[in-house]
Amino acid sequence: MPTPSENMLFGMGNPLLDISAVVDKDFLDKFGLKPNDQILAEDQHKALFEEIVKRNKVEYHAGGSTQNSVKIAQWMLQKPHKVATFFGCIGKDRFGEILKKKAEEAHVDAHYYEQNEEPTGTCAACITGDNRSLVANLAAANCYKKEKHLDLDSNWELVKKAKVYYIAGFFLTVSSESILKVARHASDKNKIFCMNLSAPFISQFFKEPLMKVMPYVDILFGNETEAATFAKELGFETDDIAEIAKKTQNLPKENTKRQRVVVFTQGKDDTVATVGDRVTMFPVLDIDQNDIVDTNGAGDAFVGGFLSALVQEHALEECIRAGHYAANVIIRRVGCTFPEKPDYH
């Protein structure tokens, strides 16, 4: 098995500072939130950010879906440091400094595009029981510019060093041209490009950029809700998750040397994945309901664990096993945080 090397895994996305707090149903209702959802902040949510920080026991964690995943992959691998590279845009402010420090602590090689027009993005994680409603105020994250960052020679060299690429669907709302440039590079060089459906609103409102990237996607992740929305948007006319996985696998693909792999997680139910021409179910690890502290980050952690095995060229089954392990660790803790070392063999 190849040993991981520096900058072997490349991620690009929205770096956000997560602000998590336990709230009640009244809070959700006040801001028109569903208990389990991910949305982009609108004008009516401005007050939410002011109100949530006044609540008791607020926790701040470095977040953003892709950044979480590459950080977990790095944690699972441990050594060498900086196997994972991360690109995204932040503000020149206190929250931006926190994100830089947290990336460094996680041994991720983060290269942020820093600008001072917009403040660093935040994400309010409103937790009720084992549900979490995420409201992202992208701010600076939305200011990522391909020509100001990705196209710079020193940055593009880091992209070229990678063997595996991962970008969450959330970044489609920011810079689809950056995603396409990376995806085409991966496809041309027969490297592995992975993407995530990320949230129902991506398939609903960003279907066009999503489908422009889809021919370059070697591995597609998503959860059961996202899969169902995607199927509906594409007119698959089925709500059978295995069938959705199969139809998604068979969508047009540029690099025919690699058959597309589709992986759909379903919370505590089996993970569904296309293995060759078959669809296989993989049971998740058992966990006592009382041990679940916060499901926020479970999907990101699954991808992170999966990627850590993928960069070592492990078989799909092994990648899924690593993903299940990482998710099982993360849901026992607040935010997408982890103990010092994994206990994974």
Check residue 324 and give its pLDDT.
Answer: 97
Does residue 17 surpass a pLDDT of 80? yes
Q: What is the tens place of the pLDDT at every residue in 254-309? A: 999 999 999 999 999 999 999 999 999 999 998 988 888 777 789 999 999 999 99
Does residue 335 surpass a pLDDT of 80? no
Reported as a pLDDT band with limits 50, 70 and 90, residue 333 is confident
Reported as a pLDDT band with limits 50, 70 and 90, residue 129 is confident
How do the domains of the chain map onto residue ranges? Answer: 9-15+63-120+138-331
Residue 153, CA distances (Å) to 11, 49, 159, 214, 306 in order: 17, 38, 10, 26, 30
Average pLDDT over residues 64-71: 96
Q: What is the pTM of this model?
A: 0.93
Average pLDDT over residues 188-194: 98
- Which of these, 136, 104, 99, 130, lies nearest to 114 by C-alpha position? 99
> In what side-by-side order are the strands of the sheet with 59-63?
37-40, 131-137, 122-128, 16-22, 59-63
Q: Compute the C-alpha angle 111/114/120, nearest 5°.
A: 105
The residue that leads in pLDDT, 327 or 290, is 327
Does residue 56 surpass a pLDDT of 70? no
Reported as a pLDDT band with limits 50, 70 and 90, residue 57 is confident
The residue that leads in pLDDT, 182 or 36, is 182
**Catalytic residue of the set 18, 29, 300, 343:** 300
Does residue 313 surpass a pLDDT of 70? yes
- Which of these, 130, 101, 127, lies nearest to 15 by C-alpha position? 101
Asked about 300 being catalytic, the answer comes back as yes
* Half-sphere exposure of residue 178: CA atoms within 13 angstroms, side-chain side: 33
Instruction: Give the other-Cβ count within 10 Å of 163's Cβ.
Output: 18
What whole-number percentage of the chain has pLDDT above 70? 99
In which element (H, E) is residue 265 found? Answer: strand 261-266
The residue that leads in pLDDT, 340 or 155, is 155
- On whether the CB atoms of residues 192 and 218 are closer than 8 A, the answer is yes
Average pLDDT over residues 325-337: 86
For 53-57, 84-88, 194-198, which range has the lowest pLDDT when averaged over its residues?
53-57
Q: What is the tens place of the pLDDT at every residue in 142-188? A: 999 999 999 999 999 999 999 999 999 999 999 999 999 999 999 99
* pLDDT averaged over every residue in the chain: 94
Residue matched to tokens 């293995």:
275
Burial of 190 (0-12, 13-18, 19+ CB in 10 A): exposed
- Rounded to the nearest angstrom, the gap between the alpha carbon of residue 178 and the centroid of all alpha carbons in its chain is 16
The residue that leads in pLDDT, 114 or 333, is 114
Fold classification of 9-15+63-120+138-331 is UDP-N-acetylmuramoyl-L-alanine:D-glutamate ligase (3.40.1190)
